[in-house]
Amino acid sequence: MNAPERFELQQTRFIRAPRDKVFAAFTDETLLRQWHCPRGMSVTHSRSDARTSGEWQLQMQARDGSRFAVGGVYRELSRPERLVYTWAWQGENSPLAGVETLVEVELLARDGGTELRLRHSGFPAAAASEAHAVGWRSTLNHLLDLVDERGSAATLTLLGDVRSSYTRTVRMALAEKGLAYDFQACAPHSPEILAVHPFGRIPALRDGEISLFETSAIVRYLDECFGSAATLLPGSQLARAQCEQWVSAVNAYLYDTMVRRYVLQYRFPRGTAGQPDRGVIDGALKDMPAQLAALDKAYGAGDWLAGGALSMADLFVAPILAYVERMPEGPALLTAAPNLRRAQATLRRRESFIRTDPTPPPEGAAA
Ligand SMILES: N[C@@H](CCC(=O)N[C@@H](CS)C(=O)NCC(=O)O)C(=O)O
C-alpha cells in the first residue's frame, strides 16, 4: 500500500543578526515568548528543554482570548547552523491535534547576517501546509522585529508619495505607533505599486512577504499587530463604528470633493491653457460647506471624531484639511467651522503631524 501523500512548506529570510542570536531565539524559552506567534497574537507560555530528545511547548493567545498550544521534541541541535524539532498542535480545538509534523531550520552565515531556511513538512493536506505558511510568514516577521538590527524596519516598507494625503495618514499612524519602517517613494500606477496594489493607488504596505493595500486596512493592521494594545481604534463598539463611519465618509465623499475635485484642480490644472478647471472647482466649492459643517458638528466641543481620543478617523481627515486650508478659498471656508479649526489645531501639535509635513511642497506637488 502506498504511504499517504504529505505536504510541506519552505521559507527563506535574510536576518541582519548573527546566527547565534537567531539560534537562541528558537531555543531560549524567554526569547521564544517574545516572538513565536503570528503578529497580533502573544505567547502566554513557553517551555524549552533545548537538548536532543528534550521537549518544547508554547501557548499562543489571539486577541479574542482564544488559546492554541503546540509542542514537540528536539531531534537535532547543531548550534548555530541547524535545528530540527517535531511539531504537533494540542487540544481538541485544533483540526491537526496530535498530527506530528517536522520543522527543520538551517542558519547560513551570509553578508554579515544570517540566511534562515525553514522547512516544515509532514502535513496531511495541502490546505494545512498553506495555512502554516501564512502563519510562518507572520511569525518570522515577528522574529525579525526582535533580532534584526533594523527592528520593524527590517520587514515594514510603506510605498507611496509623501505628498499624498492617504500616504500621510499611514505615515502618521506609523509615527503614532512609534514604528520604524522603510519608505519607498513611488507614484500611483507605477510598476512598483502595481506589484502590490491591483488598482494602482497609493499607499501600499509590505510587511516581509505580506502586502496590503487600502489605507484603512493598513492602519488597522498596524494598530492591531504592533504593540500590546490597539491605540488608533476606539475600544467601545459604538466609537469603533463611528471611527469606521468617518473613514468611510472620507473614502466615499470627502476625498473626492476636497482633494480630487478641489486641491488637485489647483495643483494639477487640467483646464484650458494649463489653468485650473473653474467648473470643477466651483462644483466642489458648492459641496464643501455641507461636508465641513458635518465634520464641524461631529467634532463639537471635543478634539476627536470618535471615542474621545485620537483615532484612525482623525488621521484620515487631518492631511486633507491641511491641503484645503492652503487653497485660495480654504481659509474662508474654514471660518464657518470653528470646532473643526480648533480640533485641527490640537492635532497639528502632535509629533506625528509635524514630522510628516510634506511642505513646502515642491512644484507640481500631488495631494
Ligand atoms: N481608497 C484608497 C484611496 C487611495 C488614493 O486614492 N490615493 C491617491 C493619492 S492620495 C491616488 O493613488 N491617486 C491616483 C489615482 O486616483 O489614480 C485608500 O484608502 O488607500
Q: C-alpha cell of 153?
A: 524596519
- pLDDT at residue 364, as a whole number: 45
Q: What angle do CA 3, 7, 9 make, to 5 degrees?
A: 150
Give residue 337's identity as a one-letter amino acid code: A
pTM: 0.94
Q: CB of 169 closer than 6 A to ligand 1? A: no
**Cis status, amide bond into 362, omega within 30 of 0:** no
**Could you tell me the distance, in angstroms and rounded to a whole number, from the CA of residue 363 to the centre of ligand 1?**
20
Residue nearest ligand 1's atom 2 by CA: 214
Q: CB of 214 closer than 6 A to ligand 1? A: yes
Residue nearest ligand 1's atom 16 by CA: 201
**Could you tell me the distance, in angstroms and rounded to a whole number, from the CA of residue 166 to the centre of ligand 1?**
7
Give residue 59's Cα distance to chain centre. Answer: 24
Cα separation, 74 vs 103, in Å, equals 10
Cα separation, 54 vs 48, in Å, equals 8
Q: CB of 166 closer than 6 A to ligand 1? A: yes
**Could you tell me the distance, in angstroms and rounded to a whole number, from the CA of residue 202 to the centre of ligand 1?**
5
Beta-carbon neighbour count of residue 299 at 10 Å?
22
Q: Is 74 helix (H, G, I), strand (E, B) or coil?
A: strand
Q: CB of 8 closer than 6 A to ligand 1? A: no
Q: C-alpha cell of 307?
A: 471615542
Is the CB of residue 22 less than 8 Å from the CB of residue 116? Answer: yes
Give residue 224's identity as a one-letter amino acid code: E
- pLDDT at residue 16, as a whole number: 98
Question: Pocket of ligand 1, candidates 169, 190, 194, 201: which has the most ligand atoms within 8 Å of its Cβ, to mutate?
Answer: 201
DSSP strands (E only) in the chain: 7-15, 42-48, 55-61, 67-78, 82-90, 101-110, 113-123, 156-160, 182-185, 204-207, 210-213
Q: Is 339 helix (H, G, I), strand (E, B) or coil?
A: helix
Q: C-alpha cell of 184?
A: 519607498
Question: Pocket of ligand 1, candidates 196, 202, 312: which has the most ligand atoms within 8 Å of its Cβ, to mutate?
Answer: 202
Provide the residue-wise pLDDT of the chain in tens; the chain has 367 residues.
678 889 999 999 999 999 999 999 999 999 999 999 999 999 999 999 999 999 999 999 998 999 999 999 999 999 999 999 999 999 877 889 889 999 999 999 999 999 999 999 999 999 999 999 999 999 999 999 999 999 999 999 999 999 999 999 999 999 999 999 999 999 999 999 999 999 999 999 999 999 999 999 999 999 999 987 779 999 999 999 999 999 999 999 999 999 999 999 999 887 788 888 999 999 999 999 999 999 999 999 999 999 999 999 999 999 999 999 999 999 999 999 999 999 999 999 999 999 999 975 444 445 5
Q: CB of 215 closer than 6 A to ligand 1? A: yes
Q: CB of 106 closer than 6 A to ligand 1? A: no
